[in-house]
Amino acid sequence: MTGDVFSIREARPDDYAAIFDLTQRAFAPTPYASGTEGHIVLALRDDGDLTLSLVAVAADQIIGHVAFSPATVGETNGAWYALGPVSVAPEQQKTGVGSRLITAGLDQLRGLPASGCVLIGSPSYYGRFGFTRCDGLTYGTVPAEYVQGLAFTSMSPVGEITFAPGFDVQPK
């Protein structure tokens, strides 16, 4: 399949089981999988913290999903959001699905309005969306290059990130 034969829309209740399966399946082969990624999406939703939940759909199948949730950033005032988990079905990866999901989500966040977005992830992937290492932006002992921010205004994210409680969930 090419990267163009899919559409992006907000998740609906009848997508939730597929989103869980997809998320677990996407992360399972990665060296950084915790096994909790699908559970994190469930917990964010249960807690009312799934600000944005977008799916990529091809031939009536869910092939990708991205979650955005509220986050706090140190003492920074403003409305910050966390990106993730983001998942693309293993057989559909590297066809532009993840990029379209992330770009669509960031466009929607900008309209909320929001101060910006933060995440823990690969600089080589997220740099293409404008995320950068930000001076003073931290998350525990995670190396600084993996702690990234994208400010939508002149206010930079500075301080320790606190993600929504759903990120601390354990598998049931």
Asked whether position 114 contacts ligand COA by CB under 6 A, the answer is: no
CA atoms lying within 13 Å on the CB side of residue 12? 7
Q: Which residues contact 147 (CB under 8 A, 6 or more apart)?
A: 118, 120, 133, 134, 137, 138, 139, 161
Please report, in angstroms and rounded to a whole number, the separation of the first and last CA atoms in the chain. Answer: 35
Asked whether position 78 contacts ligand COA by CB under 6 A, the answer is: no
Binding segment (CB under 6 A) for ligand COA, from list 4-12, 69-77, 84-92, 110-118: 84-92
Closest CB to ligand COA among residues 43, 89: 89
CA atoms lying within 13 Å on the CB side of residue 88? 17
Asked whether position 40 contacts ligand COA by CB under 6 A, the answer is: no
Min dist CB 87 to ligand COA, Å, is: 4
The alpha carbon of 49 is separated from its chain's Cα centroid by a whole number of angstroms, namely 12
Min dist CB 23 to ligand COA, Å, is: 8
Residue type, 62: I
Asked whether position 121 contacts ligand COA by CB under 6 A, the answer is: yes
Asked whether position 137 contacts ligand COA by CB under 6 A, the answer is: no
Asked whether position 26 contacts ligand COA by CB under 6 A, the answer is: yes
Interacting positions 91-110 with ligand COA (CB under 6 A): 93-99
Binding segment (CB under 6 A) for ligand COA, from list 12-20, 25-33, 136-144, 148-156: 25-33
How many other C-beta atoms lie within 10 A of the C-beta of residue 85? 20
Cis peptide before 31 (omega within 30 of 0): no
Asked whether position 122 contacts ligand COA by CB under 6 A, the answer is: yes
Largest CA distance in the chain: 46
Name the residues that contact ligand COA, by CB under 6 A. 26-27, 30, 86-88, 93-99, 121-122, 124-125
